Amino acid sequence: MKLQTLVVATGNPGKVAEMETYLAGYVERLELKPAELEIEETGTTFLENARLKASQVALALNQWAIADDSGLTVAALNGAPGLHSARYGSTDQERIKKLLGALGDNPERRGAFICALALARPDGEIACQSEGVCEGEILKAPMGTGGFGYDSIFWAPSQQMSFAQMPAALKRQVSHRGDAFRKLLAQWPTEPRD
């Protein structure tokens, strides 16, 4: 089934542009949710938050909606920053500095990027959902200039480079978001039922 319009439950235009790449062939047009439509993220997991955002935006607008909730978990920090990844500081540089400060010289540097996706029908019912994970390590200092967020300190052992050093096409293949989208598209609804 190809959707005419799909509302992305985010205020971030960059996320819409990124999703367009994954959803080519499945959606005619992606739209940003209206700025005044605020959804409080009260879930205790990435998947709960993605479901909540997709469902509430779909219901409010009576349109198909998709939501993504993602973040970085660090083993030595008991899973922090986790659900608070985007609010761990006010800029990417601040968040990275705070995370590296919290880790210090700890030799335990395992981390994982997690991405949860949920697609909701216009009546708010979740049509499909998925979660993708990319395991890696937290570097002691940023490497690379691409990407955003924590990309410059996230080392992907399988590629022997940080997310910020990867070409965009490679990052889409190996990232948590790429994993989540592959799983979601495998369950994509075949009929609209709206």
Task: Tell me if 162 sits within 8 A of 96, measured CB to CB.
Answer: no
Task: Tell me if 163 sits within 8 A of 112, measured CB to CB.
Answer: no
Task: Using DSSP bridges, classify how beta strands 65-74 and 110-120 pair: parallel, antiparallel or unpaired.
Answer: antiparallel
Given 68, 69, 151, 179, which residue is catalytic? Answer: 69
Distance CA 99, CA 109 (A): 11
Q: Is 3 exposed, middle or buried (0-12, 13-18, 19+ CB in 10 A)?
A: buried
The question of whether 69 is a catalytic residue gets the answer yes
DSSP alpha helices (H): ranges in the chain? 13-23, 46-61, 92-103, 168-174, 176-185
Active site residues: 69
